[in-house]
Amino acid sequence: MALTDVTPAESARSDRQIPAAFIAEHGLIGDLQTAALVATDGTIDWFCCPRFDSPSVFARILDQRRGGHFRIAPVENCVAKQLYFPDTAVLITRFMSEDGVAEIVDFMPIADNPKVVTDNHRIVRIIRGIRGEMQMKLECAPRFDYARAPHSVTVTEHGAVLKGAGLELTLHGAPGLERQGENVVTTLTVRANETVGVVLESASRTPPRPMAHAEVWPLLEATARFWRNWIDHSTYRGRWREMVDRAAMTLKLMTYAPTGALVAAPTAALPEQLGGERNWDYRFTWVRDASYSVGALLALGYTEEAQAFMVWLRDRFEEHVGTSSGPLKIMYRVDGSSDLVEESLDHLEGYQGSRPVRIGNGAADQLQLDIYGEAMFALSQTGGVRPPIAHRGWKDMAHIIDWLVQNWDQPDEGIWETRGGRRDFIYGRVMSWVALDRAVRLARELGRPADLVRWTAARDAIYEQILDRGWNPKRNAFVQYHGTDVMDASVLMMPITGFVVPSDPMWLSTLDAIDEELVSDSLVYRYNPSASPDGLTGNEGTFSICTFWYVDALARSGRLEQARYVFEKMLTYANHVGLYSEEIGPTGEQLGNFPQAFSHLSLIGAAVTLNNALDRSS
């Protein structure tokens, strides 16, 4: 390996604008407290530190000029391929040309005890020569606090120290660096069988130091071993195991280990429609999303992760401060705090011009009655692995159920967090029924004190109202809200939660109506914004979670051939390393925040349901 100085020509090249990668052109790495996106061109263009919901250090995906990035890539154009090392979250980006082949191995080492909160995080980038030789350029260009804060740069013999917004990053293992404005750059030539290790570390205990093969290689082996040991605990042995395992690892990567909270996605402001305003911050824990993850994780045998989230949820139950949005908020930060004030970053251009770029989330104070059902659905699924509910926990839960008894019959903003006003959404009613139904069952199962007469009466009243007002006889289907003829994919949860029997003619005709109105070439829209205004401009793509719900519902309803066709077709829409964002666009592109927890947990649920149904039918 030979390190070379940065020539004037290379210095000029560094000023050239690096084209931003498409949403799907990324793999995810992480250490169970934060995560980074690595593009297929060797650029880390999203990274928040020291945790998921911290301000960004690299945000090129939101602004290729101002956002900041950390790129290691060939000087000359060449073919690039990206893949995960099998059964791990170790990412390999391989560059191939006639003169040589080289690759970058990216990962974030897992701490010995990842449940301990720390500011110390490492991104390890190992550059390996495979064949011939290849000249590579390294450019580290942080932009602290969403590119709002200035930073200092100190170059040393073995790397650099970059400080800004109260955060210190140390770049180890990069001799020959030169400062170039606010960035540091160097070039190197890597030859066959040569290895160069570079580590970007926050809160480092040492100044920049060399990263010898003997130091970085054990980190790689330990990280790969961690992920392989973790995935070995999966009990899933059915069809589509590779995709299910990848979805499980993706959910694990989005779990904040110190609290067990799952972020909806590790990114912010990636658009649901290119050039539109549907750009939300998803780096928080939704009660809904994380509750559904319990079932997905338990279906694979991951009881520890499921229990960790239930502890987090129990703590939210205990807080139950009364607000206009009810005793629970719909979302929290990973540590359980709820300061999610929404603001726009007007200095950032947005992904392909999609503005505003939003951080925080104004939907946090919405009233969404369904979250109580999802929380109780999760609690009921824990079954035999659930520790006994202590007295205080039961009293807190009963208090919330008592509140729901008094408040279920009112309009809310609904599962999709629309901003067009509250309505009597059927999904909210169904999940309120689920909350009361599971609470009644738990009280009887555990022999705990409860006003069962009142709880049961409210549950039954909800059921009757849904059948009376949520059913549209003209559409011959359950619809989005009272008095409309608009369909909504969220009703696909009705058979999954047990509200309807999957063979019920009313349900089968609803399934037909969904197929007619919301399904396009096997992909499912959540609703039609033109038919049901949601307070926002523009349209959107199909929702991946809705497509997987559709598979689940088809399988439960005995339409196995159709379910398998839709599921296996949906698998072809994953990106090159098996990841999904929130939506699929009109030309098959990934849209929305990436990767999306909802998409992956619903993939797992659909795979388990369909696999079991196929086994029973064979």
pLDDT at 122 over 90: yes
Interval 323-374: pLDDT, tens: 666 899 999 999 999 889 999 999 999 999 999 999 999 888 889 999 999 9
Q: What is the mean pLDDT of the chain?
A: 92
Cα angle: 50, vertex 54, 55; to 5 degrees:
115
Least confident of 180-189, 221-230, 391-400, 566-575: 391-400
Q: Check residue 7 and give its pLDDT.
A: 35
Interval 430-446: pLDDT, tens: 999 999 999 999 999 88
Task: State both tokens at 143.
Answer: 């932009």
Q: Using an 8 Å Cβ cutoff, are 522 and 565 in contact?
A: yes
Residue 538 binned pLDDT confidence (cut-offs 50, 70, 90): low
Q: Check residue 320 and give its pLDDT.
A: 63
Q: Which of 75, 86, 67, 89 is nearest to 21 (CA)?
A: 67
Interval 412-422: pLDDT, tens: 998 987 667 88
Cα distance between residue 491 and residue 401, in whole Å? 22
Cα distance between residue 371 and residue 377, in whole Å? 10
pLDDT at 570 over 60: yes
Q: Check residue 321 and give its pLDDT.
A: 57
CA distances to 42, 270, 486, 529, 530 from 537, rounded to whole Å, are 35, 16, 18, 9, 10
pLDDT at 14 over 60: no
Taking residues 78-92, what's their average pLDDT? 97
Taking residues 115-144, what's their average pLDDT? 97
pLDDT at 6 over 60: no
Residue 541 binned pLDDT confidence (cut-offs 50, 70, 90): confident
Task: State both tokens at 394.
Answer: 């039961």
Residue 389 binned pLDDT confidence (cut-offs 50, 70, 90): confident
Residue 317 binned pLDDT confidence (cut-offs 50, 70, 90): confident
Contacts of 98 (CB under 8 A, 6+ apart): none
Q: Check residue 336 and give its pLDDT.
A: 92
pLDDT at 288 over 80: yes
pLDDT at 451 over 70: yes
pLDDT at 313 over 90: no
The domains of the chain, with CATH numbers, are 2-215+225-231 (2.70.98), 233-617 (1.50.10.10)
Residue 99: DSSP 8-state: S
Cα distance between residue 328 and residue 286, in whole Å? 11
pLDDT at 235 over 70: yes
Phi and psi at 460, nearest 5°, equal -70, -35
Q: Which of 115, 58, 28, 112 is nearest to 335 (CA)?
A: 115
Residue 618 binned pLDDT confidence (cut-offs 50, 70, 90): confident
Q: Which of 545, 606, 553, 555 is nearest to 295 (CA)?
A: 606
Q: Check residue 383 and give its pLDDT.
A: 60
Task: State both tokens at 129.
Answer: 């020569």
Least confident of 92-106, 242-256, 303-317, 444-458: 303-317
